Amino acid sequence: MSAEALRAAVRDVIDFPKPGIVFKDITPILADGALFRESISLLCETAGGAKIDKVVGIDARGFIFAAAVADRLGAGFVPVRKKGKLPWKTHFTAYELEYGEAAVEMHQDAVKPGESILVVDDLLATGGTAAAALKLLAGLGANVLGVSVLIELEFLNGRSKLEPHPVRTIITY
């Protein structure tokens, strides 16, 4: 099995959630045990054998991959959530969307200074969401080893917003 098998399973949904967007639906990967396991294996390989203390997943599809990667790597899992969902004391940051603004937040005690972090999400588009997560992690003094994403929409050049962190992706469009 390979990244090509994963690519073949991604379903393009035209004009979702609004006209002009081609939504990359990863639920066919999740629904297939072998494909899901392969997606987690390939994401784990992006860590290159480095010791990871915590895997940070981004709301909401990122949680699915990040939690499985954390379990496989023997690391902890930390959620970056949309504003208003976390119960404890948080840090938050707002960021630009194509239309309007969004905000994400993290618990203040979720990561200790110097801990080695891998950020995981399902898809990198403009990079705004991952950049916001990196900003929160920088504020906590985390040592971010990289950002690993299943799908990258290369033509949006989201990775430029994440410099100088290494960005590793499995399937690119």
Catalytic sites, residue numbers: 61, 98
Let me know how many helices (H) and strands (E) the chain has, helices first: 5, 9
Strands 11-14, 22-25: parallel, antiparallel or unpaired by DSSP? antiparallel
List the x/- string, 80-119, binding to ligand AMP by CB under 6 A.
----------------------------------------
Q: Is 24 in the site for ligand AMP (CB under 6 A)?
A: yes
Strands 143-152, 90-96: parallel, antiparallel or unpaired by DSSP? unpaired
Q: Is 106 in contact with 89 (CB distance < 8 Å)?
A: no
Please identify which residue in 9, 35, 123, 140 interacts with ligand AMP, judged by CB under 6 A: 123
Please identify which residue in 9, 55, 58, 86 interacts with ligand AMP, judged by CB under 6 A: 58
Please identify which residue in 111, 124, 140, 162 interacts with ligand AMP, judged by CB under 6 A: 124
Element (H, E) at 162: none
Q: How far is the CB of 70 from ligand AMP (least distance, A)?
A: 17
Please identify which residue in 46, 93, 129, 148 interacts with ligand AMP, judged by CB under 6 A: 129
Q: Is 162 in the site for ligand AMP (CB under 6 A)?
A: no
Q: Is 122 in the site for ligand AMP (CB under 6 A)?
A: yes
Q: Is 135 in contact with 104 (CB distance < 8 Å)?
A: no
Among the listed ranges 18-26, 38-46, 47-55, 79-87, the one in contact with ligand AMP (CB under 6 A) is 18-26
Please identify which residue in 38, 53, 105, 121 interacts with ligand AMP, judged by CB under 6 A: 121
Q: Report helix angle 33-45 to 61-73, nearest 10.
A: 70
Q: Is 136 in the site for ligand AMP (CB under 6 A)?
A: no
Q: Is 76 in contact with 54 (CB distance < 8 Å)?
A: yes
Give the whole-angstrom CA distance, residue 117 versus residue 173: 26
End-to-end CA gap in the chain: 19
Binding site residues, ligand AMP, CB under 6 A: 21-24, 58, 61-62, 121-129, 158
